[in-house]
Amino acid sequence: MTQKIPFREHHLLTLLEAYDKQTLPLDLFISHYFREHTALGSKDRAFIAETIYALIRWKGLLDYLVPYACWLDRYEAFQTLDQAAIQQKTDIPLHTRVSFPPYLFSLFEDNYGTDKATELCLISNTPAPTTVRVNALKTTRDALLQSWDSQYKVSPTKISPDGIVFHKKINFFGLPEFKEGLFEVQDEGSQLLAQLVRVQPGDQFLDYCAGSGGKTLALAPAMQHKGQIYVHDIRPFALQEARKRLKRAGIQNSQILLPDSPNLNKLKKKMNWVLVDAPCTGTGTLRRNPDMKWKFDENTLPRLIGQQRTIFEKALSFLHPEGRIVYATCSVLKEENQLQLEHFIKTYQLQVEGEIFQSLPAQGEMDGFFGVVLKRA
């Protein structure tokens, strides 16, 4: 007789099997699945999402322990997995013990040495903290902390002046404070990275790889609705989301620009600040995007390095002679960070202004980021 699979596990396995047959990022695919399956309650969704992320993180190790496994096999193996004992088994290859693709693990080793690489991989296999950024245009961190303190376990971020950490996951998007634009979900490292762009009221600022506008939302309050923010990306769907977020946040001095916009070329050599939050390997945010490591191959890094250089050169054309350009990634690899910086300085006669920002993922702490302010020499 066939054993009936419990309700949650049925959806868990159905989702994973469907995920393998498509190309969407994991977080988007899970969101789409939940929207289509309204019978799933909040606790069901939390269990399914947390379990899927754990299974994807440890997929490499599970496939070693249970060869030719289906998702049911992996799920059953995961339930009895003794992580501490596995890390002591030196007969298992190290990259397998930390559940990383061999080529990506070798890059981590080249960058940080074996011990630090191992630590980074293991941290990347843990859940990331849940952090929000207060919208200083509408409220203060103290006000939100006071409002939430009796309802949720929250604390201020250690470094960012605008961040609040939630120590238990909740549905942010249902909160009235979210709908009113009082906060956005944003990692503390990302908040600090945005602070490299030291815009002033009246400045002209171009967010060249804006995505859905996270960095723009973080730095816009410093402009006090004065000057102009130009939000650019090659992905129309990302800019649609940016438009919604900017409106919710109450930002009044922004323009959305697609690459074919006739207004884009008019901005050449006029920007006080340009931000290049470049597409990258995302190796600093693998806790949030564990599926990315399994899509990484030997062509990924060279392709992205080429893209980063092309994008930076285009973005630089918008910079005023006295302006500043910020190069940023969510990578922990020198090939995308320090080595790119050396290339930009040499190729375009630039110099670094201030300190280089770099963070590495740490247990319960911010994600990994790199950022640097450059000006013409």
**224-263 pLDDT per residue, tens:** 999 999 999 999 999 999 999 999 999 999 999 998 998 9
115 annotated to bind ligand: no
pLDDT value at residue 69 = 87
Say how far apart CA 371 and CA 328 lie, in whole Å.
Answer: 4
Mean pLDDT, range 15-43, rounded to an integer:
93
Q: How confident is the model at residue 364 (pLDDT cuts 50, 70, 90)?
A: confident
At residue 228, the pLDDT reads 98
Task: Check pLDDT > 80 for residue 1.
Answer: no
Kindly list the domain boundaries of the chain, sorted by start residue. 1-81, 92-125, 130-185, 188-376
Dihedral sign, Cα of residue 59, residue 60, residue 63, residue 64:
negative
Q: What are the structure tokens assigned to 88, written together?
A: 């002591």
User: What pLDDT is stored for residue 253 in this prediction?
Assistant: 97
Q: Is 233 annotated as a binding residue?
A: yes
CB 242 within 8 A of CB 233: yes
Rounded to the nearest 5 degrees, what angle is found at the Cα of 185, between the Cα atoms of 182 and 186? 120
Q: Which CATH number fits domain 130-185: 2.60.110.10, 1.20.1440.230, 3.10.20.90, 3.30.70.1170?
A: 3.30.70.1170
Average pLDDT over residues 305-334: 98
**What confidence score (pLDDT) does residue 3 get?**
57
Pick from 129, 131, 112, 134: nearest CA to 121: 112
Distance CA 201, CA 253 (A): 11
Q: Identify the CATH number of the domain defined by range 188-376.
A: 3.40.50.150
Q: What is the pTM of this model?
A: 0.94
Q: Which range has the worst mean pLDDT, 2-16, 159-173, 332-346?
A: 2-16
Using CA atoms of 153, 156, 159, 161 in order, give the dihedral in degrees to the nearest 10: 150
Condensed to tens digits (0 to 9), the pLDDT of residues 86-97 reads 999 999 999 999
For the stretch 153-185, pLDDT in tens is 999 999 999 999 999 888 888 899 999 999 999
Query: Which residues are the active-site residues?
Result: 330
- Cα distance between residue 271 and residue 63, in whole Å: 51
**Which amino acid does the sequence have at 347?**
T
Q: Would you say 11 and 43 are in contact if contact means Cβ atoms under 8 Å apart?
A: no
291 appears as a binding residue in the annotation:
no
Q: Convert the pLDDT of each residue in 309-322 to its tens digit.
A: 999 999 999 999 99
